């Protein structure tokens, strides 16, 4: 066997270039999911379409109860909302409004008020004062007054066509405090609106403006959403907030009607932007998040239909409303309904279908309104088709709409001849075909883009694999000098061909007026495959010089096949977390049985520890991600971590002794000081967590001293890891213990249930894995038997004569990926933001700040990964591998999982399925970037630790 060694600095520079390329590639390709499946539906250049009939209402009051679930309002015949119950029973029409993912504030309000669904990336645009870059009901209104949250109102005020058209009345952002009962936010809105109505009587200019045709009043009620986050939607705070909203709504409606002398010209819409899961979050496609209430009444709205009380299913059976017809809508359908009621042009990008059953108009008026709705959606299709025809060199028509003029003529004839039912049916058909046409052009480039993206990922796998082979990282039997290229002319020919192909694609994309990202999508596969083809001679030489026996070939292929099967199982674990439990059982129980008998007998205690921790960790993927706050579990987890710290305090001085030639690191006294400090911080963190939890339950607010301590823990965490990491010649077990204990206080403060117990079990699992792998290596034939005590590492931490990767190292990479997934899904489903509760951050802040709270949640999620990556970095040194070899092996193979998720993405079906598949692909695609970050962080955390060599028992026996 030949061993290849390289200059460490040169290796780091070369690997750094590969990592930078990998980051750029995966960041850009992560965005491909939005360009392929969720491209912006905005269409420009259309003429507004007005409802054809005189409007039944002069003004509209839109009330959005943020975060209100349909079942919590309607259950037991609206027992908590007697005013709205009276509306449902005697005055209006009701149903369920079905929202789409992401079920967040901005996308929900855009669907409600603009009538179209933003792409999934719109969730990142929320919570900031960005202009509305599309048409909306507010934009088309004569004037709009809005009252409520500073997180929502500016979205529609800043981008209005007339800056003075939309007025806002907002409370301070600091008012959104999760430590308090948030129903006060809704009380503020009602009181502010009442004060506004009182001011109208004393302001002639304002009175003249509010009495105009086409006025909109928007009340945004955030109390339910905030209370749902803080106390869950089944809490008394959330349920009492529903009653408060009902009482406040009754009061302002009466006052509003009184202002206009009960003229009967006001229409009312009561709904929600999204629901709320039982764990107090939203964002994904779970039915609890997508089913929201809709109640409409007033001028132009149909009264309750008791003649044919249809529309009910298992969802509404418990609501005791089966005697009244239930009319469900898609969330975007509410926008054309509001436009029709007050006579505004339909928002130009609206894809909402006017729900005729909510209108009290005559059949003739309904037919005209349905036709206008159809023409408005058709106009979007025509503009989109014309744009594609101008840019697409091989344009293919959408055949079902080639004769749309004839269909329009037929509808007009049916209306003139008073065949209204046929006209409505044909208008619905035109709407359906227009939406299909919009969908056709939305997916027009799918085949092209999917092919490019697939070639890109396959190219990266091939490129990075050849990189590993060329660096001599992988063991090669009978290795011979391998030429860089077959002939000096071959690379030049490949480069010329690559340039020609790139120019051809650039010309095609320019002709199509493609977005800038499309050029990057095509550039990567061309570059990767050109580099792969240039290595033709290297690959041929490798195959010729590597001539293993038939048995070796079978073992090699079987090992690779088993590794790929393992990757596929990890793909499936994204859908079924329980599979990780099975994997941990197999690792804990069966893996030790595959070890050499000598290894098992001489490490029997360690094997038992490994099995116990694996079985302990395997419990967590079986637990529900919907977990409420449980202080007893938090204290139990903190106590286990504290006990492990005390154990380490007494054991580390005995098990971390370095050979004489490598002493000079931290003295035992300094070691004890750092561990004692960490144990003290853990103990105080447990007490602070308990005290803060009890005070928040009592609604006395977040104690200032507790908050200061919590933030101080973050500062101390960074300080301890930085200062201690600067120490040289540290034993690897000492440094890993310091890392484990340093993160523990922050993790305990961010824990609301069993997460701290998971941290203890998971840490024990990965540490015992490291020790077992080290023991197996020490007993293997590839370990050089030493005559006396020495170390694998020089004082600066670099490896002496590193060995090359072997087939058996695939097991190490596979275990690492398995543990990554266990960290992903151990305490929640990272494919859904909703599985991580905001309650976790209340020891740090209770005032709503999505970016700060999100950062704290991410820290909590990342802590197990930091520990795992540190163990993985040490493992490479413990197995005498080049410092980046195991990492590169993982890096070059995990896109097998990414390709799986890429083709599993759906943009149809239930919103739960759509949201899950999107999350899976984005996570898998960003996983490489995540690994690279972990790789860099782990080497920063581990520092220059030493892995002392031991006189192997194999040598002693000989």
CA dihedral 742, 748, 750, 753 (to 10 degrees): 150
User: Is 539 a domain residue?
Assistant: no
- pLDDT tens, position by position, 243-293: 999 999 999 999 999 999 999 999 999 999 999 988 788 877 788 999 999
Burial bucket for residue 628 (CB in 10 Å: 0-12, 13-18, 19+)? middle
- For the chain, what percent of residues have pLDDT higher than 90? 42
- Return mean pLDDT, the chain: 83
Question: String of b and e for 908-939 (b: at least 16 CB within 10 Å)?
Answer: eeebbebbbbbbbbbbbbbbbbbbbbbbebbb
Please tell me whether residues 355 and 365 are part of one structural domain. no
3-state secondary structure 428-496: HHHHHHHHHHHHHHHCCCHHHHHHHHHHHHHHHHHHHHHHHHHCCCECCCCCCCCCCCCCCCHHHHHHH
CA distance 448 to 35: 12
Please tell me whether residues 297 and 386 are part of one structural domain. no
Please tell me whether residues 207 and 252 are part of one structural domain. yes
Please tell me whether residues 716 and 819 are part of one structural domain. yes
Given a cut of 70, is residue 933 above it in pLDDT?
Answer: yes
For residue 947, the model assigns a pLDDT of 74
Q: What pairing do the DSSP bridges indicate for beta strands 93-98 and 291-298? A: antiparallel
For residue 789, the model assigns a pLDDT of 41
The total number of structural domains in the chain stands at 3
Question: Where residue 188 falls among pLDDT bands split at 50, 70, 90?
Answer: very high
Q: Tokens representing 949? A: 């060599």
Adjacency order of strands within the sheet including 93-98: 166-170, 143-148, 215-221, 59-65, 266-271, 291-298, 93-98, 329-330
For residue 883, the model assigns a pLDDT of 66
What's the average model confidence in pLDDT over 883-892? Answer: 78
Q: Tokens representing 265? A: 């010209």
Sequence-distant (≥ 6) Cβ neighbours of residue 156 within 8 angstroms: 109, 113, 132, 136, 138, 139, 144, 146, 166
Q: Is the model more confident about 305 or about 778?
A: 305
- pLDDT tens, position by position, 529-549: 999 988 887 777 766 665 566
For residue 539, the model assigns a pLDDT of 77
Residue for token pair 């990998």 = 22
Given a cut of 90, is residue 577 above it in pLDDT?
Answer: no
CA distance 576 to 894: 19
For residue 251, the model assigns a pLDDT of 96
pTM confidence score: 0.77
Among residues 57, 60, 108, 70, which one has the least CA distance to residue 294? 70
Instruction: Output the CA–CA distances (angstroms, integers) from residue 429 to 334, 415, 422, in the order listed.
Output: 20, 15, 10
Among residues 150, 148, 147, 145, which one has the least CA distance to residue 166? 145
For residue 77, the model assigns a pLDDT of 95
Please tell me whether residues 427 and 299 are part of one structural domain. no
Question: Where residue 819 falls among pLDDT bands split at 50, 70, 90?
Answer: very high
- pLDDT tens, position by position, 37-52: 666 666 666 778 888 8
What's the average model confidence in pLDDT over 790-801? Answer: 45
Please tell me whether residues 216 and 303 are part of one structural domain. yes
Among residues 900, 32, 119, 924, which one has the least CA distance to residue 516? 32
Cα end-to-end span (Å), the chain: 23
For residue 119, the model assigns a pLDDT of 58
- For the chain, what percent of residues have pLDDT higher than 70? 84
Given a cut of 80, is residue 730 above it in pLDDT?
Answer: no
Please tell me whether residues 192 and 246 are part of one structural domain. yes
Question: String of b and e for 725-743 (b: at least 16 CB within 10 Å)?
Answer: bebebbbbbbbbbbbbbbb
Please tell me whether residues 274 and 295 are part of one structural domain. yes
For residue 118, the model assigns a pLDDT of 72
User: Is 45 a domain residue?
Assistant: no
What's the average model confidence in pLDDT over 739-759? Answer: 92
User: Is 496 a domain residue?
Assistant: no
Q: Tokens representing 216? A: 């909109």
For residue 951, the model assigns a pLDDT of 46
Domain boundary residue among 411, 443, 475?
443
Q: Are 45 and 386 in contact (CB under 8 A)?
A: no
Q: How many CB atoms lie within 10 A of CB 862?
A: 17
User: Is 523 a domain residue?
Assistant: no
- pLDDT tens, position by position, 318-333: 999 999 999 999 999 9
Question: Where residue 705 falls among pLDDT bands split at 50, 70, 90?
Answer: very high
User: Is 896 a domain residue?
Assistant: no
Q: Tokens representing 873? A: 């970095």
- pLDDT tens, position by position, 106-134: 889 989 999 988 755 444 454 444 444 67
Q: Is the model more confident about 119 or about 623?
A: 623
**Alpha helix segments (H runs only) across 656-800:** 668-697, 704-725, 732-749, 755-778
User: Is 658 a domain residue?
Assistant: yes
For residue 504, the model assigns a pLDDT of 94
Given a cut of 90, is residue 608 above it in pLDDT?
Answer: yes
Q: Is the model more confident about 549 or about 449?
A: 449
Please tell me whether residues 301 and 219 are part of one structural domain. yes
Given a cut of 70, is residue 486 above it in pLDDT?
Answer: no
Stated as kind and residue range, the H or E segment containing 266 is strand 266-271
Say whether the peptide bond before residue 834 is cis (omega within 30 degrees of 0). no
Return the SS3 of 238. Answer: helix
User: Please, what is the angle between helix 334-342 and helix 105-114, to 10°?
Assistant: 40
Given a cut of 90, is residue 828 above it in pLDDT?
Answer: no
Domain boundary residue among 399, 419, 443?
443
Please tell me whether residues 259 and 381 are part of one structural domain. no
Residue for token pair 């070059």 = 892
Domain boundaries, position 191: 60-360
For residue 132, the model assigns a pLDDT of 46
Question: Where residue 909 falls among pLDDT bands split at 50, 70, 90?
Answer: low
What's the average model confidence in pLDDT over 569-580? Answer: 83
CA Rg value for the chain: 32
**Alpha helix segments (H runs only) across 779-849:** 809-825
Stated as kind and residue range, the H or E segment containing 282 is none
Given a cut of 60, is residue 881 above it in pLDDT?
Answer: yes
In the chain, how long is the greatest CA-to-CA distance? 105
Per-residue DSSP letter, 827: S
User: Is 370 a domain residue?
Assistant: yes
Instruction: Output the CA–CA distances (angstroms, integers) from residue 258 to 8, 192, 197, 201, in the order listed.
Output: 82, 17, 10, 11
Domain boundary residue among 853, 881, 909?
881
For residue 913, the model assigns a pLDDT of 60
Return the SS3 of 875. Answer: helix
For residue 481, the model assigns a pLDDT of 46
Sequence-distant (≥ 6) Cβ neighbours of residue 377 within 8 angstroms: 350, 351, 430, 431, 434, 435, 438
User: Is 332 a domain residue?
Assistant: yes
For residue 792, the model assigns a pLDDT of 45
Q: How far is CA 537 from the centre of its chain?
A: 43
One DSSP character per residue, 8-31 reads HHHHHHHHHHHHHHHHHHHHHHHT
For residue 15, the model assigns a pLDDT of 77
Q: Tokens representing 760? A: 């203890």
Q: Is the model more confident about 517 or about 638?
A: 638
Phi, psi of 99 (to 5 degrees): -90, 170
Q: Are 793 and 799 in contact (CB under 8 A)?
A: yes
Beta bridge mates, 296: 93, 269
Please tell me whether residues 861 and 825 are part of one structural domain. yes
What's the average model confidence in pLDDT over 190-196? Answer: 96
Question: Where residue 790 falls among pLDDT bands split at 50, 70, 90?
Answer: very low
Sign of the C-alpha dihedral computed for residues 780, 783, 788 and 789 taken in this order: negative
One DSSP character per residue, 613-627 reads HHHHHTTGGGS-S--
Q: Identify the CATH number of the domain in which residue 264 sits.
A: 3.40.720.10
CA distance 128 to 582: 44
Sequence-distant (≥ 6) Cβ neighbours of residue 497 within 8 angstroms: 530
Phi, psi of 499 (to 5 degrees): -65, -40
Please tell me whether residues 76 and 164 are part of one structural domain. yes
One DSSP character per residue, 562-611 reads HHHHHHHHHHHHTT-THHHHHHHHIIIIIHHHHS-HHHHHHTHHHHHHHH
For residue 688, the model assigns a pLDDT of 94
Among residues 915, 927, 952, which one has the least CA distance to residue 99? 915
């Amino acid at each position: 066997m030949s061993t290849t060694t390289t200059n460490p600095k040169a290796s780091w520079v070369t690997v750094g270039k590969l990592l930078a390329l990998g980051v750029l590639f995966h960041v850009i390709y992560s965005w491909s999911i939005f360009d392929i499946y969720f491209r912006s539906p905005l269409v420009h250049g259309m003429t507004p379409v007005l409802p054809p009939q005189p409007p039944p209402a002069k003004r509209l009051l839109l009330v959005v109860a943020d975060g209100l679930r349909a079942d919590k309002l309607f259950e037991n015949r609206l027992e908590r909302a007697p005013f709205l119950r009276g509306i449902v029973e005697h005055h209006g029409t009701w149903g369920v409004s079905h929202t789409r993912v992401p079920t967040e504030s901005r996308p929900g309000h855009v669907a409600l008020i603009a009538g179209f669904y933003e792409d999934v990336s719109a969730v990142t645009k929320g919570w900031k004062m960005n202009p509305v870059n599309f048409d909306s009901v507010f934009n088309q209104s004569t004037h709009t007054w809005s009252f409520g949250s500073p997180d929502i109102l500016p979205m529609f005020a800043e981008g209005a066509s007339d800056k003075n058209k939309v007025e806002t009345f907002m409370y301070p952002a600091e008012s959104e405090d999760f430590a308090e009962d948030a129903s006060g936010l809704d009380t503020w809105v009602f009181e502010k609106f009442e004060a506004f109505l009182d001011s109208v009587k004393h302001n002639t200019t304002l009175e003249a403006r509010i009495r105009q045709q086409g006025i909109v009043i928007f009340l945004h009620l955030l109390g339910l959403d905030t209370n749902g986050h803080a106390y869950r939607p089944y809490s008394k705070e959330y349920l009492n907030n529903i009653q408060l909203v009902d009482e406040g709504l009754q009061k302002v409606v009466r006052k509003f009607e009184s202002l206009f002398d009960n003229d009967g010209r006001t229409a009312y819409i009561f709904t929600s932007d999204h629901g709320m899961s039982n764990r107090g979050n939203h964002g994904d496609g779970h039915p609890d998040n997508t089913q929201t209430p809709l109640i409409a009444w007033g001028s132009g709205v149909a009264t309750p239909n008791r003649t044919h009380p249809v529309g009910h299913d298992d969802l509404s059976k418990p609501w005791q409303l089966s005697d009244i017809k239930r009319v469900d809508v898609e969330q975007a359908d509410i926008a054309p309904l509001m436009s029709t009621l007050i006579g505004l042009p339909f928002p130009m990008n609206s894809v909402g279908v006017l729900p005729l059953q909510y209108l009290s108009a005559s059949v003739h008026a309904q037919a005209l309104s349905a036709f206008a709705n159809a023409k408005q959606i058709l106009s979007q299709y025509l503009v989109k088709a014309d744009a594609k025809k101008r840019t697409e060199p091989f344009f293919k028509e959408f055949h079902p709409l080639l004769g749309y003029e004839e269909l329009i003529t037929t509808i007009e004839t049916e209306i003139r001849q008073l065949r209204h039912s046929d006209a409505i049916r044909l208008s619905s058909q035109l709407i359906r075909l227009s939406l299909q046409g919009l969908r056709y052009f939305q997916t027009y480039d799918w085949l092209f883009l999917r092919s490019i993206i697939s070639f890109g990922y396959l190219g990266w796998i091939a490129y990075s694999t050849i990189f590993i082979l060329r660096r001599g990282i992988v063991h090669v039997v009978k290795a011979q000098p391998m030429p860089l290229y077959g002939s000096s002319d071959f690379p030049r020919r490949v480069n010329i061909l690559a340039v020609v192909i790139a120019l051809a694609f650039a010309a095609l994309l320019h002709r199509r007026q493609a977005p800038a990202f499309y050029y990057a999508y095509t550039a990567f596969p061309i570059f990767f495959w050109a580099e792969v083809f240039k290595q033709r001679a290297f690959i041929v030489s490798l195959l010729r010089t590597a001539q293993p026996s038939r048995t070796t070939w079978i073992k090699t292929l079987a090992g690779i096949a088993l590794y790929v099967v393992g990757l596929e199982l990890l793909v499936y674990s994204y859908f079924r977390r329980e599979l990780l439990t099975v994997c941990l059982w197999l690792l804990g129980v069966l893996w030790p049985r595959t070890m050499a008998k000598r290894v098992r007998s001489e490490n029997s205690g360690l094997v038992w520890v490994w099995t116990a921790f694996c079985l302990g960790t395997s419990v967590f993927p079986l637990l529900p991600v919907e977990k409420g706050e449980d202080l007893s579990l938090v204290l139990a987890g903190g106590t286990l971590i504290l006990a492990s710290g005390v154990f380490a305090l007494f054991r580390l001085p005995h098990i971390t002794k370095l050979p004489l030639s490598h002493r000079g690191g931290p003295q035992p006294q300094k070691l004890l000081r750092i561990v004692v400090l960490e144990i003290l911080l853990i103990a105080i963190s447990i007490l602070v967590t308990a005290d803060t939890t009890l005070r928040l339950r009592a609604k006395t607010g977040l104690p200032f001293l507790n908050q200061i301590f919590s933030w101080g823990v973050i500062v101390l965490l960074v300080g301890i890891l930085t200062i201690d990491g600067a120490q040289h010649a540290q034993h690897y077990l000492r440094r890993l213990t310091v890392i484990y204990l340093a993160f523990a206080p922050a993790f305990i403060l961010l824990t609301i249930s069993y997460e701290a117990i998971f941290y203890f079990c998971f840490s024990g699992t990965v540490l015992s894995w490291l020790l077992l792998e080290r023991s197996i290596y020490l007993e293997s034939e590839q370990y050089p038997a030493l005559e006396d005590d020495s170390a694998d590492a020089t004082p600066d931490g670099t490896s002496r004569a590193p060995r090359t990767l072997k087939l058996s190292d695939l097991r190490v990479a596979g275990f690492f990926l398995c543990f990554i997934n266990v960290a992903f899904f151990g305490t929640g489903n990272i494919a859904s933001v909703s599985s991580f509760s905001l309650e976790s951050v209340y020891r740090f802040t209770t005032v709503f700040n999505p970016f700060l709270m999100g950062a704290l949640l991410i820290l909590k999620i990342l802590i197990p990964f930091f520990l795992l990556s540190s163990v993985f970095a040490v493992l490479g040194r413990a197995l005498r591998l080049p410092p980046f070899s195991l990492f590169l092996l993982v890096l070059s193979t995990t896109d097998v999982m990414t390709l799986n998720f890429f083709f599993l993405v759906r943009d149809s079906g239930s919103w739960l399925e759509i949201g899950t598949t999107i999350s899976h692909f984005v996570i898998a695609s960003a996983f490489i970037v995540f690994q690279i970050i972990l790789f860099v962080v782990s080497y920063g955390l581990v520092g220059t630790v030493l892995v002392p060599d031991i006189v192997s028992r194999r040598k002693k026996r000989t």
